[in-house]
Amino acid sequence: MVAPCLSGPFVLGYKNVISMASPGGRSSIMRGDETRDRIKLAARRLFAERGIDGVSIREIVAAAGQRNVGSLHYYFRTKETLVRELIADGAKLIDDRRNAMLEAMAGEGGPRTLRDVIEALVWPSVNLGEAEGEEDTYLRFIVSLTMNHRQLFIEALEEKWNSGYQQCIALIKTMLPDVPPALLNQRLVFMGLYLGAVMTAREAAFDRGGHGRAFWAAGDTMSNFIDTVQALLECPVSSETMTECRAAKVSVLPDSFEAMPARGMLVGVD
């Protein structure tokens, strides 16, 4: 599959995003020592499929093709340290790509539209695999992790790798002044859940191949998906919702929102 090009007034080829965000043109999450990377690849896939609590160190080492159980300890000391490094690897790559997109848009006087901002949320988290146009297991790993170990995810980011996401959220809020703030905050929660669910389904489809992969590889699929995200955010508020909002005097988000990651593809916390 050819890597998609970004649509909208800022027609920025996805390869250009990668080259700006990844020195040397390397777009993969993987870096450095081959044995270390084998352990990380095996662990991330197992974690994506079964969660971090359902995978033992012995299973990770075996899946990585290593005979010595102590190899994981040698490279990472503990399973939690490995998990934290896996989180940071993907989060940094996605955040670098996202910031590169936003900087390119800013150089052209943008982002000008809500769709531009949504594209900056979506495109940086595709093509995370080893080969161009391929996917990894990172998004499924993150979604699984944040369901049961949200605090670990937040701590692993170290308040470093979500600046692009934060910028996108701030831009969305300025672009939708007609949506009451409390309701817009709710829609941002919905958006994070929706993006995470759809993008992990896409990643899994590429992993499995077949008809599912063909569906997501079609040229209009992702563009239509971005249309639906935009519709979720900017659709008119119904009279029924406004009535409920006034009656409930909704003014703040639930406590869980502050810690809610924009699951998978967003890789950020608000």
**9 CA to centre of own chain:** 23
* Residue 13 pLDDT > 80: no
DSSP-assigned letters across all residues of 12-78: -BHHHHHHHHSGGG--SS--S-HHHHHHHHHHHHHHHHH-GGG--HHHHHHHTT-S-THHHHHHHSS
Its CATH class, for the domain covering 14-259, is mainly alpha
Is the pLDDT higher at 257 or at 149?
A: 149
Which of 30-34, 36-40, 91-95, 186-190 comes out lowest in average pLDDT? 30-34
Task: Indicate the pLDDT class of residue 59, thresholds 50, 70 and 90.
Answer: very high
CA distance 250 to 257: 14
How high is the pLDDT of residue 130?
A: 66
Q: What is the CA radius of gyration of the chain?
A: 19
- Asked if residue 3 has pLDDT above 60, the reply is no
Supply the pLDDT for residue 213.
87
Whether the full predicted model's pTM is greater than 0.95, yes or no, is no
The proportion of the chain whose per-residue pLDDT surpasses 90, expressed as a percent, equals 62
Q: Quick check: 7 pLDDT over 50?
A: no
Residues pairing with 5 in the sheet: 13
Residue 90, pLDDT score: 92
Residue spans of the domains in the chain: they are 14-259
Residue 112: is its pLDDT beyond 60?
yes
Would you state the pLDDT for residue 158? Answer: 79
